[in-house]
Structure 1
Amino acid sequence: MTIPLPPAPDTLPPAPVAAQDRALLPDALRGFALLGIALINVQDFSGFRVWEQQGLDRAVQVVTDVLFNGKAVALFAMLFGWGAAGLWERHGLGLYVRRHLLLLVIGLAHFALLWHGDIIGGYAVSAVIFILLLRRPTGALLKWAWGLYLLSALNYVAGYSLYKVTPGSRISFSPDFAPHQSYASILADRIAELPSQLGSGLFLASFTIPLFAFGAWAYRSGLLSRPAEHRPLLRRLLAWGFGLGLPLGLGLAYLNTLDTEQAGMLSEGLRVISGLPVAFGYVGLFGLLSLRPRVPAALTALARSGRLALTHYITQSLVLTLIFYPYTFGLYGQVGAAAAVGMALLLALAQIALSRWYLRRYGRGPLESLLRWAVYGRR
């Protein structure tokens, strides 16, 4: 059976969306997702073990688990799918593939040079597979999104009885550095792991593609670009998203106090399961805030940060590895959740604050400019 191609692109030369034509809500959600990603990723950057936290550290861990763990990245993935659908419908297959191949190169460079937890390369791999769903009608796209999401969630928890329940068996996925390990040594290890990183991108697709599909549906329905037309849906997303997702987040926080392999693996599943409803809740909350007669200043500030998403994401890795990794200050494994999350929060807030100045002076971020030039042939 022949699958139809996307609508023919305009006869004018392809161009990115101009700054004055960008919708506020997607950028604001993207800026908020970046803040949440920094607060969660700092666990890996700093090397603290969630199940060992006590006192203030545990309180911080619980708050981040409930509000951001799995939620920020789910929101970010949906917005990636939203942007991918827009690119597909505006410019067609060729430019779509070109942009995501370039993102794959950026993601692999990020993985090798800075941090093993890169998601950009995995998203790029998923985006190529996602073409199969982008060719589906809007109604079918939403059905596929729900079906694949539920299948992915089931896959995470189906084998829970096979995991060890003995204390001390929990697996840490953070890197294991040698004392004072050099940057050259870490770089060599990462370069050797590049083939397996491509393979992990295929695994990542099992739960990113459903999120992409929700985002693509939001693009086609106008949920984020025309929120005034969807006020009742935004209210339902707010109520049901937080009503279902926040209690699930408490379950995740509880699992992250237990030092068993079973709790660790179940927490990975609950990250996925709780991530989507809370991400929907944030869409509802921010969507309704964007419809107020006077848009909150915080929303506008987050939108500026969202316009610099790629630059901010890579910068977070650069700054946090410089703070924690053994080839610089060597704080890896030396601080608890409160201190680490506090540092990440200060970094994320600084990025939000500086975004206004940067955009006024330069118009777009350095990595956004590079990608724009490589994809569209213009600065």
Structure 2
Amino acid sequence: MNPSPLPLNERLAALDIIRGIALLGIFLVNIPAFASPIFIFQLYDVPYEYKGVDTYIDLFLLLFVQGKFFTIFSFLFGLGCGIFLRRAEERHYFAAALWSRRMASLLLIGLFHLVFFWYGDILHVYAIGGFLLLFFYNRKTKTILLWAIGLLCFFYLLACMQFFIPAHVLQEAQLEYKALHEHALTQYLSTYRQADYLSWLLYRLNVEVVPMLLNLPFSIFPVFSMFLFGLYTAKKELVHNIEQNRSFFKKIQLITGATGFTLTIILAILKLEILKYGLYQQAAIHLFTNSSGIFLCFFILPPYCYSCNFLLTLRCWVCLSIVEQWH
């Protein structure tokens, strides 16, 4: 029996719509990286300063976009994995082999993109996380949920460790990074503006590709935890019974919304420097950006599901009305 693409009438269209919205948000966040040397600033932990209207655009993206949509997309990836494996098993396919083949293809595409085109590739991270999901698919839902929460807590524990670095040590490190950053920025701009493709590629391998791969063990934690939350949702079949689980979703919204918006307000206060945290200011901004994004992800998802289902129902009603008029 040869596997074939899923028929359109069996796809969960609401999830496809949300996935498209998430991709739009990810695109908006990455626009500065397409047109500026922001990577070098991030690599040496030096804040990138915007001027004029760009300052307000950056603030808007930080508060309402950054960290919000990649979490939604990661959640949907884990959810899609759970649905894919379950449907493959129902059709008596070798589900693990099919999924592994997909992840292998995704990994190759991602590494090709990372090495030859752009440092901001996320596909290789998703592919590695996708392979790891196979170890959790047959686990109990409670186990999956505990791992998701545990990995997320471990990630934030690691992120908080920088607040325990003595101020004088952090100050010396920041001064050293700033000096290295100034030299690296000059070379970075020169290479991007003047070098031929081969020279640019060799330069990137050392400056961009290697740091991104070395950072993979740390960066995969929040992504994979969202994969597990999505897998948990698929195993519980919550998205197949949205209306029946409305009260559960409302409770999740109440908790995550209150927490997420509180963290976003704190983030705005830090970004506008109403509250100053000295040498730890940027670390605090990064922490609250990521944490607010996680909570607001779970706040945003249920309304998206309700609205998408409503729009799909409305579309079907309009189509049926047109068909009836023709007949």
TM-score, normalised to structure 2's length? 0.76
Q: Which residue of structure 2 aligns with residue 205 of structure 1?
A: 220
Q: Which residue of structure 1 aligns with residue 203 of structure 2?
A: 189
After superposition, the C-alpha distances for 1:223-271 in whole angstroms (9 at most, x for unaligned) are 3343222211232333333322133234334444569763333333323
- Whether 1:14 and 2:3 are equivalent positions in the alignment is yes
> Residue type matched to 2:6 in 1?
V
Distance, in Å, in 1 between the alignment partners of 2:214 and 2:8 is 36
1:280-359 equivalent positions in 2, closer than 5 A: 280-292=298-310
Instruction: Please report how far the alpha carbon of residue 57 of structure 1 lies from its aligned counterpart in structure 2 after TM superposition.
Output: 2.2
**Structure 1 residues 147 and 120, CA, compared in 2 at 3 Å: closer, same or farther?**
same
Distance, in Å, in 1 between the alignment partners of 2:139 and 2:70 is 25
- Whether 1:66 and 2:63 are equivalent positions in the alignment is yes
* Higher mean C-alpha deviation, range 72-81 or range 260-269: 260-269
After superposition, the C-alpha distances for 1:80-103 in whole angstroms (9 at most, x for unaligned) are 111122233333211111111110
Point out the structure with max Rg over C-alpha: 2
Distance, in Å, in 2 between the alignment partners of 1:72 and 1:261 is 29
* Higher mean C-alpha deviation, range 248-257 or range 63-72: 248-257
Work out which of the residue numbers 136, 142, 156 in structure 2 matches 1:133: 136
After superposition, the C-alpha distances for 1:195-238 in whole angstroms (9 at most, x for unaligned) are 66444333332222111000111212223343222211232333
Contact 2:14 2:305 in 1 (8 A): yes
**More helix per residue: 1 or 2?**
2
Contact 1:234 1:285 in 2 (8 A): no
Distance, in Å, in 1 between the alignment partners of 2:87 and 2:54 is 47
RMSD of equivalent CA atoms? 3.1
Contact 2:103 2:130 in 1 (8 A): yes
Work out which of the residue numbers 268, 288, 293 in structure 2 matches 1:275: 293
Q: Which residue of structure 2 aligns with residue 347 of structure 1?
A: none
- Whether 1:115 and 2:118 are equivalent positions in the alignment is yes
> Residue type matched to 1:131 in 2?
L
Q: Which residue of structure 1 aligns with residue 153 of structure 2?
A: 150
Distance, in Å, in 1 between the alignment partners of 2:234 and 2:8 is 18
Q: Which residue of structure 2 aligns with residue 305 of structure 1?
A: none
**Structure 1 residues 246 and 45, CA, compared in 2 at 3 Å: closer, same or farther?**
farther
Q: Which residue of structure 1 aligns with residue 239 of structure 2?
A: 224
**Structure 1 residues 296 and 249, CA, compared in 2 at 3 Å: closer, same or farther?**
farther
Q: Which residue of structure 2 aligns with residue 52 of structure 1?
A: 49
Work out which of the residue numbers 16, 25, 45 in structure 2 matches 1:36: 25
Q: Which residue of structure 2 aligns with residue 237 of structure 1?
A: 252
Q: Which residue of structure 2 aligns with residue 317 of structure 1?
A: none
Distance, in Å, in 1 between the alignment partners of 2:20 and 2:106 is 19
* Higher mean C-alpha deviation, range 225-234 or range 257-266: 257-266
**Structure 1 residues 74 and 142, CA, compared in 2 at 3 Å: closer, same or farther?**
same
> Residue type matched to 1:176 in 2?
Y
TM-score, normalised to structure 1's length? 0.66
Contact 1:67 1:246 in 2 (8 A): no
SS in 2 for 1:159: helix
**Structure 1 residues 113 and 296, CA, compared in 2 at 3 Å: closer, same or farther?**
farther
Question: Which structure is richer in relative contact order (CA contacts within 8 A, separation 6 or more)?
Answer: 1
**Structure 1 residues 188 and 25, CA, compared in 2 at 3 Å: closer, same or farther?**
same
Contact 1:51 1:256 in 2 (8 A): no
**Structure 1 residues 52 and 191, CA, compared in 2 at 3 Å: closer, same or farther?**
closer
Q: Report how many aligned residue pairs link the two structures.
A: 286
Contact 1:122 1:202 in 2 (8 A): no
Instruction: Please report how far the alpha carbon of residue 280 of structure 1 lies from its aligned counterpart in structure 2 after TM superposition.
Output: 0.7
Distance, in Å, in 2 between the alignment partners of 1:188 and 1:261 is 35
Please list every run of 5 or more consecutive structure 1 residues that lacks an aligned counterpart in the other structure: 1-11, 298-379
> Residue type matched to 2:116 in 1?
L
> Residue type matched to 1:44 in 2?
A
Contact 1:108 1:121 in 2 (8 A): yes
1:170-181 equivalent positions in 2, closer than 5 A: 176-178=188-190, 179-181=193-195
**Structure 1 residues 88 and 200, CA, compared in 2 at 3 Å: closer, same or farther?**
farther
After superposition, the C-alpha distances for 1:258-305 in whole angstroms (9 at most, x for unaligned) are 6976333333332321111111111022122234377578xxxxxxxx
SS in 1 for 2:300: helix
* Higher mean C-alpha deviation, range 98-107 or range 23-32: 23-32
Q: Which residue of structure 2 aligns with residue 23 of structure 1?
A: 12
SS in 1 for 2:136: helix
**Structure 1 residues 228 and 198, CA, compared in 2 at 3 Å: closer, same or farther?**
same
SS in 1 for 2:2: coil
Please list every run of 5 or more consecutive structure 2 residues that lacks an aligned counterpart in the other structure: 42-46, 89-94, 316-327
